[in-house]
């Protein structure tokens, strides 16, 4: 299971006061431009990309009791993710497509910010690796990756599913009471990754 799937596999119960702040402003799309006032950025939506959801879904990890006990014993963080924007481009008719997802993450359960979040997500995938047909390979966390000129921490993940190698890039940075997480997934070539990064390069920040 990819990090993207892990982050979105969840209940929709809103359990924190902070989440209500972002829930009231999940962003809007006008004239093919997505704007989020809370995180203070805008992103033009390319014509060939399809917006999948813009519903501000609040979610939590759903783990069985054994998984919860296992992660708690490791001092796992309390993760509450919410989808802000999800869009994709079909590269081939029979493919899942390249996908870009913006998530907000309530920081109240994360003591050490963006790096801890990425390390926790990596550990969760490692723990699932032995019980899945998917095999993962993790790149090092990079400290100077940019989206629209703003620095983010970033981590590449490579995985093999039914013999097919795919890759995913996860960006994370701290904003006020939240982390902003951006996930690029579904690409199988450097050209597809470059295309997804080109979309993100068009992000404009208000500050």
CA distance 118 to 122: 6
**pLDDT of 122:** 83
What local confidence, expressed as pLDDT, does residue 42 receive? 97
Domains in the chain with CATH codes: 3-205 (3.40.1000.10)
Element (H, E) at 151: strand 150-161
Q: Taking Cα atoms as reference points, which of 112, 125, 119 lies closest to residue 61?
A: 125
Tell which residue, 159, 86, 163, has the closest CA to residue 128.
Answer: 159
CA–CA distance, 127 with 46 (Å, rounded to integer) = 37
The pLDDT value recorded for residue 93 is 61
Scanning the chain, the segments in alpha helix (DSSP H) are 3-8, 17-23, 65-73, 113-129, 190-200
**pLDDT value at residue 40:** 94
pLDDT for residue 193? 86
Determine what percent of the chain falls in helix, strand and coil, rounding each to the nearest 5. 25, 40, 35
Residue 55: per-residue pLDDT: 56
Question: How would you classify residue 162: left for phi > 0, otherwise alpha for psi between -120 and 50, otherwise beta?
Answer: left
**Residue 19: its pLDDT value, please?**
43
Cα–Cα–Cα angle for 171, 177, 180, nearest 5°? Answer: 15
Predicted local distance difference test score (pLDDT) of residue 96: 66
- What residue ranges of the chain have pLDDT lower than 70? 1-25, 53-80, 91-96, 128-133
Specify the pTM.
0.77
């Amino acid at each position: 299971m990819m990090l993207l799937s892990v982050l979105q596999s969840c209940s929709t119960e809103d359990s924190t006061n902070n989440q209500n702040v972002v829930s009231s402003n999940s962003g809007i799309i006008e004239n093919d431009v997505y704007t989020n006032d809370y995180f203070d950025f805008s992103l033009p939506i390319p014509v060939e990309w399809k917006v999948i959801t813009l519903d501000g879904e609040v979610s939590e990890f759903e783990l069985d009791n054994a998984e919860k006990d296992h992660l708690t014993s490791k001092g796992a963080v309390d993760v509450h993710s919410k989808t802000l924007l999800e869009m994709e481009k079909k590269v081939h008719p029979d493919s899942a497509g390249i996908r870009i997802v913006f998530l907000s993450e309530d920081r109240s359960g994360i003591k050490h910010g963006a790096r801890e979040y990425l390390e926790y997500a990596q550990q969760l995938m490692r723990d699932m690796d032995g019980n899945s047909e998917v095999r993962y390979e993790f790149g090092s966390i990079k400290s100077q990756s940019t989206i629209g000129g703003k620095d983010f921490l970033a981590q590449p993940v490579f995985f093999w599913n039914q013999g097919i190698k795919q890759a995913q890039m996860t960006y994370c940075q701290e904003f006020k009471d939240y982390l902003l997480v951006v996930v690029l997934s579904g690409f199988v070539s450097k050209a597809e990754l470059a295309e997804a990064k080109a979309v993100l390069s068009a992000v404009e920040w208000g500050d």
